A and B are shown apart, each in its own frame.
Chain A
Amino acid sequence: MEQRHFDRELLELKEKLLLMAAKVEQLIKQSVEALIKKDAALAQSLFALDKEVDKLEIDIEEDAIALIARHQPAAGDLRFLIGAIKINNDLERISDHGVNIAQSAIRLAAQPDLKPLIDIPRMAEFSIGMLKDSLDSFVNNDPDKARAVCRSDDKVDDLKDQIFRELLTYMMEKQDSIGRAMDLILVSRNLERVADLSTNISEEEIYISEAKIVKHNVQKGK
C-alpha cells in the first residue's frame, strides 16, 4: 500500500519536533559555551533562538491536536501523538532553562571569575549528553537507550549537590562572591532541570514504543 496521507502527516510532525530538538540542543550547548567563554554576545543571541523554539512549540501542538481530531488515532499512532505533545512541552521548558543560563552568563561575563569552572562544564556535558541520548532514543524508537538515560539522572543530581557545597564555602568566605556564586548555583540548577526533562523525554519514548508508563518510579502497562 502506498504511504497514507496520515502517515505523511505523522512524519512531518516528527520532523518538526526534530527540528525543534536540534534548536534546543544548540541553545543549551551555546548557553554553556557563552558562560565558559564569557561571551555575552553569544548569550544574547540565544534569546532569538528561544523565540523560534516557542513558535515551533505552538505549531507542533496545533498540528498534533488537529491530527487527533481528524484521524482519531489508535494504538501506536495515538501513543506517538500523546508522546509528541509531551516531548514538545519538555523541549520548550529545556529551551527556557537555556535562556536562564544565558542570562547568568551575561551577568557573569561582566565580572571577574569567582573560580575556574570545572564541575559546571562536566555537569553540562552530562546533561547535554542525556538530552542528546533521549532525543536519539525518540528518533530511533530505542527504549533501551531511553532506559539508560533514566538511570544516569542520579549522577547529575550528585554533581549539582557537589557544586552547591563548594559554592557555599566561597559565599561564607567572601561576601562579594555571593552574587556570582548564586548565578553559578542557578546555572547548575538549570542544568539539573535539563537532565530531569531529558529523563521525561526518555520516559515518553518508552511509552511510545512499549506502552509502559514509567515515571515517579512507578511502572504501569504490560
Chain B
Amino acid sequence: MDQKIEIKDLDLFYGSFQALKAVSMPVYDRQITALIGPSGCGKSTLLRCLNRMNDLISEVRITGRALLDGVNIYDRSTDVEGLRKRVGMVFQRPNPFPLPIYENVVYGLRVAGENDKKTLDQTAEKSLKAAWLWDQLKDKLHQPAISLPLDQQQRLCLARLLAVEPEVILMDEPCSSLDPIATAKVEELMLELKKDYTIVIVTHNMQQAARVSDFSGYMLLGEMIEFGETKTLFTNPSQKLTEDYITGRFG
C-alpha cells in the first residue's frame, strides 16, 4: 500500500506547551485513517498539521516532517495555498458561506479565476453528485446554503471541497453535530469517497472509527501510543493504554 502522507518525528509547541511529541505515522493512499484519543490528546492538532492550518495560530513552532507524496510540506518552498487545495478540510460544525448553494460549491473555482459557466455548472453538478446532494438540491441551487438542514450543510461543505479536486480530505469530528441517520449517511459517503480520496478523520466516537476506518492511531498527551490496522486495534491492541481507552476503562 502506498503512503500518501508520511509523518516523521513531528513535534509541535504552542508557546512553551508541547502538544505533539515525536509523532510518526503513515497515511495510506485511498484509505480511511482515524485518529482517536481523549480530548486534548493532540489529534486535531495533528490533523491540522497536515495542511498547515496551524500556521494561522501565533506562537506555534513545528519540528519534524510531514511528507506528502514524498515532499515535506514544511519545506520553505511549499506553496501553502496549493497545499490546502490538495489537502482539504471539513470541520466539526458545517460552515457554508452565506451564499447560494451553487455559489458555495463553485467558490473555490471562482477564487482560482474560473468564470466559464459551463465548467462551473459541470463542476457543481459533479461535486453535488459525489456528496449525494444533487437529487435533493438540483432544483434549489440558488437558495441560500444556510437554509439547508445540518447534514446537508455538512455534505455541501464536502461538495465545496470536492469541487477543487483535493487528494486528501481531513475531517475534524465531521458528525459531531449530526443525528445518527445523518451520521450514517456521512459515513457511507466516506466509504464511497475513499475509492478516489485519502481520508483522515478525527473522531471522539470510537464506534465511528471502528466502523469506517482502515487504520487507526490512538493518541494520548501528544504521543502516538499505537497505530495499526483498525481491525487489530479494536480486537487485539498491543498497548495496555489503548485497550483501556477503547474498552472505556481509561482514567
The residues of A with any CB-CB pair to B shorter than 8 Å are 1, 4, 6, 72-79, 211, 221-222
**Which residue of chain A has the shortest Cβ distance to B234 in the bound complex?**
A74
Q: Is B149 an interface residue (CB 8 A)?
A: no
Instruction: Give, as a whole number of angstroms, the nearest-CB distance from B99 to chain A.
Output: 40
- Which of B19-27, B73-81, B154-162, B242-250 interfaces with chain A? B242-250
| B242 cross-chain contacts in A, Cβ below 8 A | 75
Q: Is B212 an interface residue (CB 8 A)?
A: no
Q: Which applies to chain A's interface (DSSP): helix, strand, loop or mixed?
A: loop
Indicate if the CB atoms of A211 and B235 lie closer than 8 Å.
Answer: yes
Kindly state the separation between the CA atoms of A78 and B248 in the bound complex, as whole angstroms. 12
Indicate if the CB atoms of B249 and A211 lie closer than 8 Å.
Answer: no
Kindly state the separation between the CA atoms of A78 and B231 in the bound complex, as whole angstroms. 12
Indicate if the CB atoms of B243 and A72 lie closer than 8 Å.
Answer: no
| Chain B interface residue count, Cβ-Cβ cutoff 8 angstroms | 15
Please name 6 further chain A to chain B contacts, defined as beta carbons within 8 Å, in addition to the given A4-B248, A74-B235, A77-B247, sorted by A numbering.
A1-B251, A72-B206, A74-B234, A75-B234, A75-B243, A76-B247
Kindly state the separation between the CA atoms of A75 and B159 in the bound complex, as whole angstroms. 36
Instruction: Give, as a whole number of angstroms, the nearest-CB distance from A63 to chain B.
Output: 18
With A72-B207, A75-B243 known to touch, is A221 a contact of B248 (CB < 8 Å)? no
Q: Is B133 an interface residue (CB 8 A)?
A: no
Name the residue in A73, A75, A76, A222 with the highest tally of chain B Cβ atoms < 10 Å from its Cβ.
Answer: A75
| B144 cross-chain contacts in A, Cβ below 8 A | none
Give per-residue flags for B220-237: 1 if the beta carbon is below 8 A from chain A beta carbons, else 0.
Answer: 000000000000001111
| A74 cross-chain contacts in B, Cβ below 8 A | 206, 210, 234-235, 246-247
* A-B complex: 8 closest residue pairs judged by Cβ atoms: A211-B236, A74-B246, A74-B234, A75-B243, A77-B247, A72-B207, A75-B247, A75-B237
| A73 cross-chain contacts in B, Cβ below 8 A | 247
Kindly state the separation between the CA atoms of A131 and B207 in the bound complex, as whole angstroms. 37
Kindly state the separation between the CA atoms of A1 and B247 in the bound complex, as whole angstroms. 14
Chain B contacts with A in 67-126, Cβ cutoff 8 A: none
Kindly state the separation between the CA atoms of A4 and B251 in the bound complex, as whole angstroms. 12
| B206 cross-chain contacts in A, Cβ below 8 A | 72, 74
| A1 cross-chain contacts in B, Cβ below 8 A | 249, 251
| A78 cross-chain contacts in B, Cβ below 8 A | 234-235
